[in-house]
Amino acid sequence: MVQQTSEAKLKQPTIQATQDGLNGRQFLLALLGMVVVIGLLWVGFIYLRDTKSVNILNALIAIVWGVGGVAALYGITNTLIESFPGKTRDRLRPFLFVLPAVAILFAFLAIPTLITLYQSFFNNDTTHFVGLSNYIATFTDHSMLESFRNNVIWLFAGTALSVCLGLLIAVLADRSSFETVAKVIIFMPLAISLVGASVIWRFVYAYAPAGQPQIGILNAALTSFGLQPQSWLTQQPWNTFFLVLVQIWAGTGFAMIIFSAALKGVPVELLEAATLDGANEIQAFFRIIIPYIQGTILTVTTTVAIGTLKIFDVVFVMTGGQYGTSVVGTEFYRQFFTNGNFGYGAAIAIVLFILVTPVLIYNLRQLRTQEGF
């Protein structure tokens, strides 16, 4: 018995050393599996790239190839990492999940941004270096100044109304007996893309000369009362505000949902104490509720502001940037894709990126401070 115990103690360091070392067999098998998976992914890519027919079979192959290939690659990579010693394994495993996302961001965000920055210093066909001429034109051209003005209108009117209406609806719905129904109705426009919402509102604003059938809801209502139809989308500068209404209609639901969640986190004891101290509903709202959820208000405001600064689809679908409604996004599209002025278009894109970046950084800092909403 003593001899067996001694032999077990002698074998224990050997076993521990094996566990702490590299598992060579597992490492080689995982490496071989990774080569096979990458090879199969490449073969699938070649097949899908060269195939001319579009059918259900190819769709299924694409799904299995994409989803299954990525899952297999993650699994085999994890097996490869498991073959390393304990400390090395723990250090490498986080990179398995972080590096692919970082690589995708670098490939599809950082590299295009650097290329765009490089192009912004060249002429329309990017063959001659022009220095800062494109940036000077960005801040002196009449159409760009008009776009900046409209972006300011979108930023303040769109953001303020979306946030205020979202907060107001959240407070009122929270105290109603049909809270769920009200929130669903307000939230529904958010489920529609801004392109779809723009198409819907084009029918709302649709115009036909007097005496002709009016398919637009607003003009149909006006003519039913004996008034003249209005060309809503061509009346400057009010047409920009009519476009902002589309963003408000589609974005208020986002603010409402976030505010509703924040309001439910306000302690009931605070509100009851305020009531006992003689505070009315309005005083409790501004002195207790608003300060308590001010972090959420700031986060929602900056998030909506970023969306208004980048606005493109609503303007492009409804007016194409005509009639004085152009914004920085539509001006970039017109210069880069329509006019083929790549240098100037790239400079506009960089300016838009610079405008959005400070708001984005502030938003991220708020999230880090609060650890989320």
* Residues paired with 122 in a beta bridge: 129
Rounded (to 5) percent helix, strand, coil in the chain: 80, 0, 20
Look at residue 19 and tell me whether its pLDDT is greater than 70: no
Q: How far apart are alpha carbons 250 and 214 in whole angstroms? A: 25
pLDDT at 14 over 50: no
Whole-model pTM: value is: 0.77
CA distances from 190 to 146, 159, 196, 299 (A): 29, 15, 11, 18
Give the closest residue to 352 by CA, choosing from 302, 303, 311, 304: 311
Digit-coded pLDDT (tens) for 113-138: 999 999 999 998 888 999 999 999 99
**What is each CA distance from 91 to 28, 125, 291, in whole angstroms?**
20, 47, 42
- Average pLDDT value for residue range 91-110: 83
The residue written with tokens 């001659």 in the block is: 128
| Minimum mean pLDDT range among 6-10, 229-233, 261-265 | 6-10
- Which one, of 280, 126, 260, lies nearest residue 187 by Cα? 260
Residue predicted with more confidence, 348 or 237: 348
Residues 6+ apart with CB under 8 A from 349: 116, 120, 332, 336
Question: Two tokens at 159?
Answer: 């953001």
Tell me the pLDDT band of 162, cut-offs 50, 70 and 90.
very high
User: Among 2-6, 209-213, 317-321, whose mean pLDDT is lowest?
Assistant: 2-6
Q: Got the DSSP string for 165-208?
A: HHHHHHHHHHTSTTHHHHHHHHHGGGGS-HHHHHHHHHHHH---
Strand partners, 306: none
Helix H or strand E segment including 368: helix 342-370
Q: Which amino acid is at 294?
A: Q
Q: What is the mean pLDDT of residues 359-363?
A: 83
- Give the confidence band of 62 by pLDDT, cuts at 50, 70, 90: confident
Report how far apart the first and last C-alpha atoms of the chain are (Å, whole number): 64
More confident residue, 1 or 297: 297
Domains of the chain in sequence order: 12-119 (no CATH), 135-370 (1.10.3720.10)
H or E segment and range at residue 331: helix 328-333
How confident is the model at residue 17, as a pLDDT? 37
